[in-house]
Amino acid sequence: MNIKVISVGKIKENYINQGINEFVKRLQRHVNLEIIEVKDERISGNLSSSEMNQVKEEEADKILDKINNRSYTIALDPQGKPMTSEGLAKSISNLQVQGYSSIEFIIGGALGLHQKIRDTADYVLSFSHMTFTHQMIRLILLEQVYRAFKIMKNEPYHL
């Protein structure tokens, strides 16, 4: 299984990078993992809703350039559908049965995702009704993907 994470912006905090690196290492025996960072747009203090939409659209265009049309795409968005860890494991397993060998997860920038990304995605997933930074979500996503593969293999999960 190939897993691609397409994310807007770089990870700046060392503690988040350490966590991400740990789950990248753990996932290597389960999947071929690729993390693609697209450049985030500069955001000034008080943007109008039109300016915010323009920033999200410019980031969306960069994301769309990285998407493989044969992959199953999952956009992460607070307005998406919630799923349990077991549900994610079952979904990944079902996608494999359906013949998908690649899943692409999309994480927006500081302002979130543009509507055209949500419209393009095969599934829009919400991890929580709470708001997390796009940097933190990458760590949470990798942990959940790792957990999903442990569940699929009926292996115990301990940190």
| Cβ-contact 36, 68 below 8 angstroms | no
Is 128 annotated in a binding site? The answer is: yes
Is 73 annotated in a binding site? The answer is: no
Q: Which residues of 24-40 are buried (b: 16+ CB within 10 A; e: fewer)?
A: eebbeebbebebebbeb
Structure tokens at 50: 């039109």
Is 158 annotated in a binding site? The answer is: no
Is 120 annotated in a binding site? The answer is: no
Is 93 annotated in a binding site? The answer is: no
Is 130 annotated in a binding site? The answer is: yes
Is 132 annotated in a binding site? The answer is: yes
> Which residues are 105's β-sheet partners?
5, 74
Is 131 annotated in a binding site? The answer is: yes
Angle between the 134-152 and 85-97 helix axes, to the nearest 10 degrees? 70
Q: Tell me the C-alpha to C-alpha distance, in Å, between residue 67 and each of 83, 88, 89, 104.
A: 23, 21, 22, 7
For residue 136, which of 26, 39, 16, 18 has the smallest C-alpha distance?
A: 16
Structure tokens at 56: 């999200």
From the annotation, which residues make up the binding site for S-adenosyl-L-methionine? 76, 108, 127-132
From the annotation, which residues make up the binding site? 76, 108, 127-132
